[in-house]
Structure 1
Amino acid sequence: MENKKFPKMAFVLLSFLYLIPFSGAVVPNAIGIGYGRLGDNLPSPARSIELLQSMNVGRVKLYDADHEILNLLSGKNIDVAITVANDEISGIAANQHLADQWVYEHVLAHYPKTRIRFVLVGHEVFSSLSTDQDMQIARDLVPAIRRIKNTLKAQGIRNIKVGTPLAMDMMEMTFPPSNGSFKPEIREFMVPLLKYINGTKSYFFVDVYPYFAWFEGQVMNQTGISLDFALLRSGNETYTDPQTGLVYTNLLDQMLDSVVYAMAKLGYDDVMLAVSETGWPHEGESGATRENAAEYNNNLIRKMVTVPNAGTPARPGEVIPTYIFSLYDEDQKYGPATERHWGLLNPDGSPVYQVNITRKGTSD
């Protein structure tokens, strides 16, 4: 989520459950953290890994494949997602040797001592298609994913999933959820992506932010989305999809199910979902407060770690691996003030606000 076009996230941890996703097995969910590093006042990588361990974090998402960080994660009980940069995609797509080299340098040099579980090829590749280079990267995305996966298979590695995180701006329609559809201009890219992900039993990774949907509604003076609904205050209000009869208690489920229905319209109704980014800003524009950020993330954790798994109305009981962005505020990110205030921890390692990862000690 480095250098994004869209602002991002926040939260703090203490401890939680995790299981390793081997092969295509479905496993109990765990909340992860996105470790973004676009800041000039952040703790060192060594200190950051210590903080992740002290919080008993079970998953971390990196926005690169930094050797120092991967070395520091060696031997730690933390599942790791690493990222292939957008500007590396076309080269890898065109040359299996480059794919082999990338995997050797960034995976085999650290695996299995460092528990790499996901390789994410690119970041929100379909969000910008304004130049010839953008279009070429979009066309090269699936071939690059395929080459990375081929190298892993050739090395006998079966428990690393390969995918790509996409933003909700890929959607033409999201409401009601049953009307969910992808933008026409990306469908030519989406069909081969879904086909490959489905064939390899990987996840469709989505960066999904109820905050943005709610905030945009406020800016346009629309009252259709209440703060309660956006903050996952389940039970305060509901919405029934008129076409399916499914009842929604929060905006996140609506947004995720719009993706489910969009995939189904292209012939893929059982591709697994993962939330590669979500969260709520704690400072900046309207609604960005520590209280709201804490409530969103606590409600998110409650939803995602409940047993049995809650899933969504269209996918009841489904495990949805979820990462909350970000470990720290990142003061070098561009855009509005909100963009720089999604962090869970202050630079000194103290929590920006409290989040109960395990929900131990709660009565609900």
Structure 2
Amino acid sequence: MALIFLCFFCFIAVSSGAVSNRIGINYGHLGSNLPSPAQSIQLLQNMSIGRVKLYDADHETLNLLSGKDIEVAITVANDEISGIAANQHLADQWVYEHVLAHYPGTKIRFVLVGNEVFTSINTPEDMQLARDVLPAIRRIKNTIKAQGIRNIKIGTPLAMDMMETTFPPSNGSFKPEIRELMVPLLRYLNGTRSYFFVDVYPYVTWFESQVWNQTAINLGFALLRTGNENYTDPQSGLVYTNLLDQMLDSVVYAMTKLGYDDVLLAISETGWPHEGESGANRENAAEYNNNLIRKLAAVPSIGTPARPGEVIPTFIYALYDENQKYGPNTERHWGLINPDGSPVYEVNITAGIPHMRD
């Protein structure tokens, strides 16, 4: 089997940079038995991965990525946001240390400010952090722009729990308590042609539909199984063949209701667990990720029913299982690669990967 679809190498030019439909992957470190950064970067190359998303801006990893044909997303930690939001000098320092020290040798293309910051806004401190995201984005963007860099996009990954309603997609709306935050964020992303990054997990939605004993979502629909079933949105008339498109378009409609109907969309995390609760097994994980790659790496781009033909940059979660993560057992079993470098299961970007050697 080929290591990767040939279309992963196709690029679609936009503005001063290029938006590619090469599949990316999330590379986290919350495991006690993970390969070294050097081994991990070699694996990414062997897999012909187009992008990698880091949950930090680790210098060793960024140095190892120098000269590699891999686009990189780096992350400003949540606990750094408020300081950067309040102080341009701190923003300058962060950019000089984590971006300029490695760019352009390392193909940094995205700076993500925080991770799922809008998920918890139950305390005044949480709400203040959420309010600080956009000022921090602005300051980092100002520093990068002042250096004459035009091909790095700035954004923040948000989880689907930002949504009040997702079904049918045309009813999509953000939770009332975050709308005041969402409007200026969308205005800024639209004005800078940056991406609205969303962590979207059909597995979680499918699993919850079983647990809550409501009208259960069809498993094949959640797995993006072709020809499985169709759903027609009664208001838009758009026809949906999978749950991922429904979830993404609910975000599109939510943005539209706030006056922003053309903000670019990107998937910062998606995937399927291979062990844990109901439906989490290797067969389903392989099917979901293979179907995901087939859909989002297609040329010409497929997009979604509400955004036909749009390229949606996508990062699969995750490179490795991470046994130090909290939560249910499923939380620790999303990886594509074992600690020895062999595939957990075969998916188009892992086929033929040999065992790691020291």
Answer yes or no: is 1:273 the counterpart of 2:265: yes
Alignment of 1:173-184 (within 5 A): 173-184=165-176
Report the alpha carbon displacement of residue 17 of structure 1 after superposing the two structures with TM: 2.1
- Give me the TM-score of the superposition, normalised by structure 2: 0.94
Deviations 1:82-114 (A, max 9, x none): 000011111000000000000000000000000
Tell me, in whole angstroms, the C-alpha distance in 2 between the residues paired with 1:45 and 1:90. Answer: 29
Tell me, in whole angstroms, the C-alpha distance in 1 between the residues paired with 2:70 and 2:82. Answer: 30
1:249 aligned residue: 241
Alignment match of 1:39 (pick from 13, 31, 35): 31
Secondary structure of the 2:179 match is helix
Alignment match of 2:75 (pick from 71, 83, 98): 83
Report the alpha carbon displacement of residue 334 of structure 1 after superposing the two structures with TM: 0.4
Answer yes or no: is 1:99 the counterpart of 2:115: no
Cα RMSD (Å): 1.5
Tell me, in whole angstroms, the C-alpha distance in 2 between the residues paired with 1:176 and 1:112. Answer: 43
Deviations 1:184-227 (A, max 9, x none): 00001100100000000000000000000000010111234110
Deviations 1:110-156 (A, max 9, x none): 00000000000000000001222211111111000000000001000
Tell me the matched-pair count. 347
2:344 aligned residue: 352
Alignment match of 1:300 (pick from 292, 298, 322): 292
Tell me, in whole angstroms, the C-alpha distance in 1 between the residues paired with 2:154 and 2:48. Answer: 25
Answer yes or no: is 1:137 the counterpart of 2:129: yes
1:3 aligned residue: none
1:320 aligned residue: 312
- Does structure 2 retain, via aligned residues, the 8 Å contact 1:24–1:201? no
Structure 2, unaligned stretches of length 5 or more?
352-358
Answer yes or no: is 1:170 the counterpart of 2:162: yes
Secondary structure of the 1:119 match is strand
2:230 aligned residue: 238
Report the alpha carbon displacement of residue 24 of structure 1 after superposing the two structures with TM: 5.8
149 and 60 in structure 1: CA distance in 2 versus 1, 3 angstrom threshold: same
- Does structure 1 retain, via aligned residues, the 8 Å contact 2:336–2:350? no
Deviations 1:18-47 (A, max 9, x none): 648775656341110000110000000010
Deviations 1:280-334 (A, max 9, x none): 0000000000000000000001110111110000000000000001100000000
Deviations 1:262-297 (A, max 9, x none): 000000000010000000000000000000000000
1:196 aligned residue: 188
Tell me, in whole angstroms, the C-alpha distance in 1 between the residues paired with 2:99 and 2:224. Answer: 37
Tell me, in whole angstroms, the C-alpha distance in 2 between the residues paired with 1:20 and 1:314. Answer: 20
1:215 aligned residue: 207
- Does structure 1 retain, via aligned residues, the 8 Å contact 2:48–2:349? no
1:8 aligned residue: none
Answer yes or no: is 1:159 the counterpart of 2:151: yes
The structure with higher relative contact order (CA 8 Å, sep 6+) is: 1
- Does structure 1 retain, via aligned residues, the 8 Å contact 2:11–2:18? no
Alignment match of 1:331 (pick from 323, 336, 339): 323
Q: Counterpart amino acid of 2:195? A: Y
Tell me, in whole angstroms, the C-alpha distance in 1 between the residues paired with 2:10 and 2:151. Answer: 15
- Give me the TM-score of the superposition, normalised by structure 1: 0.93
